[in-house]
Structure 1
Amino acid sequence: MPSGPVLESAGVRLRALRPRDEAEWMDLRARNREWLRRWEATLPPEAQAADMSFRAFTRLERRQRRELSALPFAIEVDRRLVGRVAVAGIQWGAQRSASLGYWIDEGYTGRGIVTRAAAMAATYAFDIGLHRLEIAIRPENAASRRIAEKLDFTEEGERRSYLFIDGAWRDHLIFARTQDDPRPSRYWDVDG
């Protein structure tokens, strides 16, 4: 039984992680540890993080999808896990907003996969009733900035010391779009 939507477009498939993905996921993460270190948020040293098994991690994500507090997806290409896209920190009520985040295996960069995956996740988020999505990007992350630009997100400004990444609090540029913004980019033409 699927534990969430499966989205597919132009050879890119988004789906929930399953307990049986553990070995492939752990290998993907291990191969890309150094590649992601400069961009991926972590807990600051004073925060207490409990170790979580992969099975517990997939259960947590299933609960987040059910509660619509986050929409985490694994990215697949040719039935291989190659990355991640997530609509996280969903706020309902009057705000109806969330953050959009993503990463990909270093060996799959430059192919438009993350741009397509981000468009698919954003389209789904808007379809279920979110009004605004933000992408927070470190200023020096040119590849991630290109993704936001290709998807016609508007740069709104800088948040100082926004996320703890690679051992320090890092500034981020904020890009956003709303459900009402036109979607002229070819990446918004998602099927299914």
Structure 2
Amino acid sequence: MPQAQGWPAVLVDGPVKVRPITRSDGRAWMDARSHNREWLARWEATVPAGTEPRPSTFNNLVARLRRAARLGTTMPFVIEVAGSLVGQVTVNNIVRGSAQSASIGYWIDQRVAGHGLMPQAVAMVIDHCFTTAGLHRIEICIRPENTNSLRVVEKLQMHEVGLAPRFLHIDGDWRDHRIYAVTQEEVPEGMLVRLKRSRNEIT
């Protein structure tokens, strides 16, 4: 099956690398998830009763993500810093045609949280979506209580465009989400440039 537009891809900026998830990531991925189980549990996607269950093993998860990537509906990335897997950024719900849009979800190891790595990785992925992948609009949906995730969109200066009541099944129930979005026209120089300029890393 031919690869979808913009996939696979490896993105690098300084010490941060964003690359496709692979089966060989199993041990590092499971170590990170195990170490962060309590920290992430409140924000974890779940499925309501009577629907298809989530993958039961890491290999099943990777197989499902790679299949969706080949179909062009998903771009599943992991984040590496200095060669260590520290998180994940996934472009979901890619819609072509008149929309050319997608949503992004992410998580990061608490051991490296708070150092600006997640905004940097998300900015890299958004730039890839707007350039190589040819998308026009990216959306990030966040539970109102998730202050850490809200800091990511704040640092990226993404606009809040609405509230979606009972939007996603998270941590065992339907949860409200705040919706943030950015279009290609809003970041003509790129999201990463905007982020670095806000940090005064470039002039």
Task: Establish whether TM, by shorter chain, passes 0.5.
Answer: yes
| Paired residue total | 187
Contact 2:123 2:195 in 1 (8 A): no
1:96 correspondence with 2:100:
yes
Structure 2 residue aligned with 1:48: 52
CA RMSD of superposed structures (Å)? 2.0
- Indicate the larger mover: 178-187 or 133-142: 178-187
Task: State the shift of 1:185 in Å.
Answer: 2.8
Change (3 A) 1:45 1:34: farther
1:1-192 alignment to 2 at 5 Å?
4-49=8-53, 51-127=55-131, 128-182=133-187, 183=191, 184-186=194-196
Contact 2:55 2:61 in 1 (8 A): no
Aligned residue type for 2:195: S
Task: State the shift of 1:76 in Å.
Answer: 0.7
Change (3 A) 1:179 1:86: same
Q: Tell me, which stretches of 5 or more residues in structure 2 are unaligned?
A: 1-6
CA distance in 2, matches of 1:51, 1:65: 16
Task: State the shift of 1:20 in Å.
Answer: 1.7
Task: State the shift of 1:69 in Å.
Answer: 0.9
CA distance in 2, matches of 1:105, 1:163: 22
Structure 1 residue aligned with 2:3: none
Contact 2:120 2:195 in 1 (8 A): no
Task: State the shift of 1:100 in Å.
Answer: 0.9
Segments of 4+ in structure 1 off by > 4 A? none
Task: State the shift of 1:42 in Å.
Answer: 1.1
TM-score in terms of structure 1 length = 0.90
Contact 2:141 2:178 in 1 (8 A): yes
Aligned residue type for 2:26: E
Task: State the shift of 1:91 in Å.
Answer: 0.4
The sequence identity of aligned pairs, in percent, is 43
Task: State the shift of 1:62 in Å.
Answer: 2.5
- Indicate the larger mover: 150-159 or 54-63: 54-63
Task: Report the 3-state secondary structure (helix = DSSP H, G, I; strand = E; otherwise coil) of the residue aligned with 2:135.
Answer: coil
Q: Tell me, which stretches of 5 or more residues in structure 1 are unaligned?
A: none
Deviations 1:21-57 (A, max 9, x none): 2112111111111111111211123323164443333
TM-score in terms of structure 2 length = 0.85
CA distance in 1, matches of 2:87, 2:167: 23
Aligned residue type for 1:15: R
CA distance in 2, matches of 1:87, 1:142: 21
